[in-house]
Amino acid sequence: MEKLLREYGFLFAFILLSGVTSGQESFEGWVSEDQALISRSEGTHRSEILLDLSKNNKEHERRSEEPFRSGYMEPMALPDGSLVQLLGHDLYLIKADGEKFQLTDDDSEEKNAQLSPDKTKVAYTKDHNLYMYDLSQHTEKQLTSDGSESVYNGWASWVYYEEILGRSSHYSAFWWSPDNEKIAFLHFDDAPVPTFPIFYSFFQHDSLEVDHYPKAGDPNPDVQFAIADVSSGKITWVSEDPDKDQYSALPFWSPQGKH
């Protein structure tokens, strides 16, 4: 613990004194024992700074040419210093030298991407379905297929986002197992829930969004727990009593990921 606190203290002192704070920075995390990732926002762009504390605090800066926008997915650091990042509406792998490799290529946006615990795979939702990308095989696998305007896999219904999972979830409703082999997720059917228009006036141009929004006395969404095996693609549905007055949410994996 003393070593950890000393390293954190040194890192933040270095950030404050080295001139790294020329923009709006945030500490994203440790890439390795000696490397830390800092995100910097300047105007409408952002960049990532990799600080190597073992080599006289050498900095490697990677600048995104894509405009920064609200809801932008934070970059995810890999052990070799590469980043997995959302640019536009596709996922990219950005090497330490700044070279970019496009991972996904379609018109739909990948949302709430999460690295597996061993950082070899990425899970995300797209068009209300759950997907997994294998970084070593460079392949994308679709794990569910029934996503629609009212059916969501791994993407929370509004009432779950607002009242149960919390706004910090950003609608994410899936969880990697510790053994990297499975993903637990919530399956929502919002068809029974009435819709309600919500007016947003936060920006220069206002917008109107229609959500499934249960008021007092209205039915909640039908929710089921499921587990996807990322290798076989098999979906296992968790047995629950639909007649019980209960909410399904917030699973916890056993340390080995077997339960």
**pLDDT of amino acid 68:** 39
CA distance 54 to 51: 9
Which strand ranges, in their side-by-side order, compose the sheet holding 121-126? Answer: 111-115, 121-126, 129-134, 139-142
Q: Which two three-digit tokens encode residue 213?
A: 């929004």
Q: Are 117 and 176 in contact (CB under 8 A)?
A: yes
Residue 77 has what pLDDT? 84
CB 109 within 8 A of CB 89: yes
Map the chain to HEC letters. CHHHHHHHHHHHHHHHHCCCCCCEEEEEEECCCCEEEEEEEECCEEEEEEEECCCCCEEEEEECCCCCCCCCCCCEECCCCCEEEEECCEEEEECCCCCEEECCCCCCCCEEEEECCCCCEEEEEECCEEEEEECCCCEEEECCCCCCCCEEECECCHHHHHHHHCHHHCCECEEECCCCCEEEEEEEECCCCCEEEEEECCCCCCEEEEEECCCCCCCCCEEEEEEEECCCCCEEECCCCCCCCCCCCCCCCCCCCCC
Q: How far apart are the first and last CA of the chain?
A: 31
Instruction: With a cut of 50, list the residues of the chain below it in pLDDT.
Output: 1-7, 10, 13, 17-21, 62-72
Query: pLDDT at position 126, please?
Result: 96
How confident is the model over 88-97, as pLDDT tens digits? 889 999 887 7
pLDDT digits (tens, 9 = 90+) for 136-165: 999 999 999 999 999 999 999 999 999 999
pTM, two decimal places: 0.76
